[in-house]
Amino acid sequence: MAPIETIPTTTASTIYCPIIWDYTCDRCPTENLTRDQIISCIASGEWDSLLKVVASDQSTGKCWDATQEIARAALEQAIDRHGSDSVPRNCLAFAEDVLGLNSTRAFLRPAA
C-alpha cells in the first residue's frame, strides 16, 4: 500500500466537510468543522453512512480529499477512547470502507 500524503493540519482558514449519505444526527454539526471536530465525531460513532471528507483552505482556494487521513486519525482516536475491542460500529465501518479491511484489522491488533 502506498503511503498516504500528509495534509497540513487545520489552520484558521481550513474547514472540513463530511459527505454523508443519509444525515440524521443532530449531535454533530456538519458545517465549518475543524479537523479535530470531524475526527471526534467519527471516533465517537456519531455519524452513519459517512462517505468522504473534503478539506478546503479558504485562504488559498485549494481543496483536497482528506478521507484517508481522517479515517486513520479517527480510528486511532476511537481505539484510544474505547479500546480495540469496542470501537463504535460506525467508525469501524467507515475505516474499513476507506482504509480496507486488512489495514483496519492491523490497527486493531494489539502490539506484540
Residue-wise pLDDT for 34-68, tens only, equals: 889 889 999 999 887 888 898 888 889 899 999 99
pTM of the model: 0.76
DSSP per-residue string spanning 54-100 = EEEETTTTEEEE-HHHHHHHHHHHHHHHH-TT---HHHHHHHHHHH-
Q: Using an 8 Å Cβ cutoff, are 34 and 10 in contact?
A: yes
Neighbours of 84 (CB within 10 A): 14
CA 24/CA 27 separation, integer angstroms: 9
Q: What is the average pLDDT score of the chain?
A: 80
Q: Where are the domains of the chain?
A: 14-107
